[in-house]
Structure 1
Amino acid sequence: MEYVRLGSTGLEVSPICFGTWRFGLEHEDSGVVETGREDAHELLDALEERGGNFIDTANSYGGGDSERWIGEWLEERDREDYVIASKCFWSTVSRFQENLSKKNVKAEVEGSLDRLGTDYLDILYLHRSDDDTPIEHTLRAVDDLVSEGKVHYVGVSTCDAWRLVKGLWKADVNNYEAFTVTQPEYSAVYRDPIVDDLDQPPEHKEPITEYLDVCEDQDLAVCPYSPLHGGFLTGKYERADDGSVRGPDGSRADIDDQFESDYVAEAAWSVLDEVRSVAEEVDATPAQVSLRWLMDHERFTCVPIVGARTVDQLDENFGAVEVELSDDQWERIDAAIDA
């Protein structure tokens, strides 16, 4: 597999990142655990076999099980062969559950390193914003962790464009380690203009154009989560006669009561139709075309994070590496959101 340079970090990563948010995830409404320990290790084995080296996790995923299971898997491997990203904000080791204070950031990172069984994180993301802690305090804590060799690069996930700029500015004037990687929600469906009838929290409704403009200007790598829009862009969903979403048994629409309200709006169907059309032209699946559309962004390095639940899904996702889109096909998908 041909690796790509992750923005200005110098890290060489597989063009698709494997996200492990499903590891240990239990749905409250159904009680279903999406990925257990054995399945998690099987997926990581499959990732290794396909040449993937970029793994994304967080201290909160599965109550810490995601990091633990990755750590167990890494024990028999050379840590240097993998790029591991984790996050801080929702703590599993501190009673301060939601803040980015110096105390909490350092405690959370120590907890992540312990669960992962490693001495360092390649990337530490600030998982969410903290309005009550000055960003320079958080950046100072992260800068200390970089100086100690416990964190190599700093990223930010899910924030507004102005917060991203403020963080970059504060790092610059204080000579702290600055953000080099971002992790927004972004896909062929979820972009600007963002459809406004989705039941999403306020920070998810901000137009993403300005955010991505900052990433381009500052040479920040973009690692979008939910690149298949919660599975919608796999093409497995259909619109029922009553306008509702119809999906196969065991799909997110089947086990997650909020899937339809959170992910599907009128504009989404227009994009899916164009993705399906292009998929037929290039003999690929809608999922592969949707991932390739992200990977082919020229303004910034774009490495989508996939959350496959099965080895077959992982195979399909990594098949996007072999797909080729023409400029016209890419632009048709790009324009479909406005149809």
Structure 2
Amino acid sequence: MEYTTLGNTGTKVSRLCYGTWRFAKESGGTVETDREEAHELLDACHEHGINFIDTANAYGDPDGTAEEYIGEWLENHDREDFVIASKVYFPFDGWGEAGPNDSGLGRKHIRAQIEGTLERLGTDYIDLYYIHRWDDETPIRETMQVLTELVREGKVHYLGASSMAAWKLTKALWTSDVEGLERFDVTQPMVNAAHYDEVGDYLDVCADQDLAVCPYSPLAGGFLTGKYERTDDGGVEAPDGSRGSLQETFGDRYATDRAWDVLETIEAVGEEVDASPAQVSLRWLMDQGRFSCIPIVGARSPDQLEENVGAVDVELSDEQFERIDAARNGS
């Protein structure tokens, strides 16, 4: 495994982060990743040298179950060997019906949620704490103030921001600088080779401010693994049990004309470097030069995780990188 510095921090993380959003997640009445499978996957992460684990208070059915799975697993491992990220924003239904202060980024909700997260994970601190979304109803100054308090109390090491508009990220950074508050060091937008331009302005801010980028859905919901086929009418033929077979909006969201062009180029590059499309896609992200990029992979089995980890050993030439970039740009 390769390791890199997490943006403008002093912490080293594996070049891949493992995402746990499938832990205890129910789809069609079936749990995608149960406790035993979750612990097997975390074992595989440890064996492959992945030390960066991503979760959220709202992951799992009921909410909080993903954090509980990780906390149970950590009991048999050295907490200091891992960099753990979690998030706050959404209502937490583990406590029953949501009240007026049971969501968002106000002081009351953040204070309640950090305590629950720490308890479920069985730890005294979170390495990285993301705001899961922007809260239009709470002044960003209040949010950054309470997050700053958590850092200075030692409950959180670094702050992160997930999906939002570029101007909102800029506003948050400006507020932190003007008010002398802690600022975001890490971001988590949806970025992959087929869907990059949608967050281009956001990534410009990350590059300018030396923020680490930890993309979710780096394989475009599995589209960039090459397991989907294009039908004669322009639709998507999806394997049983895949996200494409479970989500009606999959084709419109991921299988665009440009995405098929990008996938074709990635498959060609993969043949040249003896790597799978998934490995090439992940390596392309890791090779971003403007900012440190640590993709979040959500492998559903140890075998899938092993394939993902193989991306670390892939080498793309400048010409191959630029060909993928050109397909992404439609040129």
Counterpart in the other structure of 1:284: 275
- Shift of residue 260 of structure 1? 1.8
Question: Take 1:281 and 1:97, find their aligned partners in 2: how far apart are those partners?
Answer: 52
Checking the alignment, whether the CA contact within 8 Å between 1:275 and 1:290 is kept in structure 2 is: yes
Contact 1:245 1:260 in 2 (8 A): yes
Q: Which residue of 1 aligns with 2:244?
A: 253
Q: Choose the corresponding residue for 1:147, options 152, 155, 169.
A: 152
2:288 pairs with 1:297: yes
**Among residues 202, 206, 229, which one is paired with 1:238 in the alignment?**
229
1:233 to partner: Cα distance = 0.2
User: How far is the alpha carbon of 1:259 from its aligned partner?
Assistant: 1.8
Question: What is the correspondence of 1:36-185 to structure 2 with a 5 Å cutoff?
Answer: 36-62=34-60, 63-92=63-92, 95=99, 96-185=101-190
1:149 alignment partner, SS class: coil
Aligned position for 1:187: 192
- Aligned counterparts of 1:110 and 1:91: Cα–Cα separation in 2: 15
With 242-251 and 7-16 compared, the bigger mean Cα shift is at 242-251
Match of 1:308 in 2: 299
Following superposition, the deviation at residue 248 of structure 1 comes to 1.5
Unmatched runs of 5 consecutive residues or more in structure 2: none
Say if 1:18 and 1:54, in contact at 8 Å, map to a contact too: yes
Q: Tell me the amino acid that sits aligned with residue 19 of structure 1.
A: G
TM-score by length of 1: 0.93
Give 1:65 shift.
0.8
Letter matched to residue 34 of structure 2: G
**CA offsets per residue over residues 233-261 of structure 1, 9 Å max, x none?**
00000101222111212111122233223
Shift of 1:2: 2.5
**In the aligned structure 2, how far is the partner of 1:56 from the partner of 1:316?**
19
Secondary structure of the 1:60 match is coil
What is the CA-CA distance between 1:183 and the residue it aligns to? 0.4
TM-score computed with the length of structure 2 as normaliser: 0.95
Deviation at 1:42, TM superposition (A): 0.4
2:4 alignment counterpart: 4
- Aligned amino acid, residue 10 of structure 1: G
Q: Distance in 2 between matches of 1:216 and 1:268?
A: 24
Change (3 A) 1:31 1:258: farther
Report Cα offsets for 1:90-127 as digits up to 9, x if no partner. 14256334310001011111110011000000000000
Aligned residues: 323
Kept after mapping to 2: 8 A contact 1:171/1:177: yes
- The 5 A counterparts of 1:14-33 are 14-27=14-27, 30-33=28-31
Give CA deviations for 1:243-293 in whole Å, capped at 9, x if unaligned: 211121211112223322322211110000000000000000000000000
Give distance in 2, aligned partners of 1:21 and 1:130: 21
Q: Alpha carbon RMSD of aligned pairs, Å?
A: 1.1
**Contact kept in structure 2, 1:85 and 1:121, CA below 8 Å:** yes
Q: Give 1:208 deviation, angstroms.
A: 1.5
Distance 2:183 2:313 in 1: 34
**2: distance between equivalents of 1:99 and 1:69?**
24
- Residues 282, 323 of structure 1: 8 Å contact kept: yes
State the 1:178 CA deviation.
0.3
Q: Distance in 2 between matches of 1:50 and 1:98?
A: 36
- Give the aligned residue type for 1:55: I
Partners of 1:38 and 1:77 lie apart in 2 by 16
Q: Equivalent residue of 1:189, what SS?
A: coil
Q: Residues of 2 paired with 1:2 and 1:209: CA distance?
A: 27
Amino acid at match of 1:136: R
Q: Aligned-pair distance for 1:191? A: 1.1
Please give the alpha-carbon distance, in whole angstroms, between the structure 1 residues aligned to 2:88 and 2:212: 19
Distance in 2, matches of 1:20 and 1:168, equals 28
Q: Which amino acid letter does the alignment assign opposite residue 295 of structure 1?
A: M
Partner Cα separation in structure 1 for residue 2 and residue 213 of structure 2: 18
Partner of 1:266: 257
Quote the residue 1:201 is aligned against. Answer: none
Question: Contact between 1:59 and 1:91, CA under 8 Å: does it hold in 2?
Answer: no
